[in-house]
Chain A
Amino acid sequence: MAKPRTQTAEGDSPDRWEAQLRKGALEMAALASLWKGRLYGLEIIRFLENQSSLSLAEGTIYPILNRLKVEGMLASEWVEAEAGHPRKYYSLTESGRQRLCLMAEAWFDFSRGLSRLLEPVMENQEIPQ
């Protein structure tokens, strides 16, 4: 039973859990991608793919951006581009910036604690059955 650890395809609950986790993190990731300046939707998707392994169904990001905008975390503007059609650029608002800082802090506390908790589990996996 030497299954590769990263592939937990059997039984859908770990998969579902991972999907939930990714989805939850996506909002934070979207905010983080705008930390250095404005980007449009496709740039955000590419940025997330390159910077993290957050490959995603491309459709998921747009409703999230829309919601963050309604919540006042993001501002948007249409900018004419040489592509021939305008693009919708997003940028962080002041409250978006604050929210992201709080999220980052909470995230690091949380993941540090969890990593400590999971250390024995990871060590245990090296022991042959």
Chain B
Amino acid sequence: MTTELAIDNYLTSLRLHLGPLTIAEREEIVREIGAHIRDSAEESGTSVETVLARLGPATDLAAQYREGLLIRTASRSFSPLVLLRAALRLATKSIFGIFVFFCSVIGYSFGAGFVVVAFAKAIVPSHTGAWVQDGRLVSAGAFVYGMPPMAHEVLGMWAIPLGLIAGSLTLLLTTFLVRNSLRISQRVQARL
């Protein structure tokens, strides 16, 4: 049965490309599309090939299912990776998305930077902190080498709690901003 084979191939490909969904969601989609193909072919007497062509490639169909999913799950996620991926997807769609993506990259970088400073202070205390010379900041950060001898470090061990607090606040704020932007974009999309 070549038509059965064609249907099976289509559904297998669809199932394969619906990877990120849960098994239950995936099977429900495959079952529904399978029913559509059979109904559609019986109803009008059109060939299965035509029906499949009208559905479009299985990869495209799966992509449409996944599209909403990434942004939807990301807007409930706390993982920077998931949020960054969703922001990147948003960036391909609108100027607002590009802005959100850049903000998220900058936010996560600074947040991670502050945390790194806190840890570095514990490991290499003499090369971590903020250096001031003649009343102005010359350098700040972790693993800083080759400071002029006149510069002195002002934070001391405070770099650890300050780094941790500033880092977590920045990361939290970034997460909050990205999640809200994703929700806004979803709502805008839902309205048209």
Residue of A nearest to B61 (CB): A59
The smallest C-beta distance from B82 to any residue of chain A, in angstroms, reads 17
Question: Cβ of A87 < 8 Å from any Cβ of B?
Answer: yes
Q: Is the CB of A57 within 8 A of B54?
A: yes
Of B36, B38, B65, B68, which is in contact with the most chain A CB atoms at under 10 Å from its CB? B36
Q: Give the size range of B's interface with the partner.
A: 20 to 34
Q: Which of A2-10, A11-19, A60-68, A114-122 contacts B (4 or more CB under 8 A)?
A: A60-68
CB distance from A8 to the nearest CB of B (A): 21
- For residue A41, which residues in chain B have a CB less than 8 angstroms away from its CB? 32, 35-36
B43: nearest chain-A partner, CB-CB: A42
Residues of B contacting A62 with CB < 8 Å? 29, 32-33, 36, 61, 65
Q: List residues 11-59 of chain B with CB under 8 A from any CB of chain A.
A: 28-29, 31-36, 38-40, 42-43, 51, 54-56
Contact yes or no, B54 A83, CB < 8 A: no
Interface residues on A, range: 20 to 34
A70 touches B (CB below 8 Å): yes
Nearest residue in A to B67 (C-beta to C-beta)? Answer: A63
List of A residues within 8 angstroms of B34 by Cβ: 85
In the complex, whether B152 has a CB less than 8 A from a CB of chain A is: no
Is residue A94 contacting chain B, with contact meaning CB distance below 8 A?
A: no
The binding surface of chain B is classed by DSSP as helix
Nearest chain-A residue to B32 (Cβ)? A88
With a 10 A CB-CB cut-off, give which of A25, A58, A103 has the most chain B CB atoms. A58
Instruction: Find chain A residues with CB under 8 A from B190 CB.
Output: 27, 71
Most buried by B among A41, A66, A71: A66
Which residues does chain B contribute within 8 Å of A88, judged by CB atoms?
28, 31-32, 35
In the complex, which residues of chain A have a beta carbon less than 8 angstroms from the beta carbon of B60?
Answer: 59
Please state if B64 and A42 are interface contacts (CB–CB under 8 Å). no
A66 touches B43 (CB 8 A): no
- Contact check, A59 vs B39: say whether CB atoms are below 8 A apart: no
Interface residue from B42, B55, B192 paired with A58 (Cβ < 8 Å): B55
Q: Known contacts A24-B192, A86-B35, A88-B32; decide if A58 and B64 are in contact (CB<8 Å).
A: no
In the complex, what distance in Å separates the CA atom of A40 from the CA atom of B190? 22
Taking the closest CB of chain A, its distance from the CB of B190, in whole angstroms, is 7
Measured CA separation A62–B14 after assembly (Å): 13
Name B46-103 residues within 8 Å CB distance of A.
Answer: 51, 54-56, 60-61, 64-65, 67-68, 72
Which residues of chain B have a CB within 8 Å of any CB of chain A?
28-29, 31-36, 38-40, 42-43, 51, 54-56, 60-61, 64-65, 67-68, 72, 190-192
Can you list the 5 inter-chain pairs with the closest CB atoms, starting with the nearest?
A: A24-B192, A63-B64, A59-B56, A59-B61, A59-B55
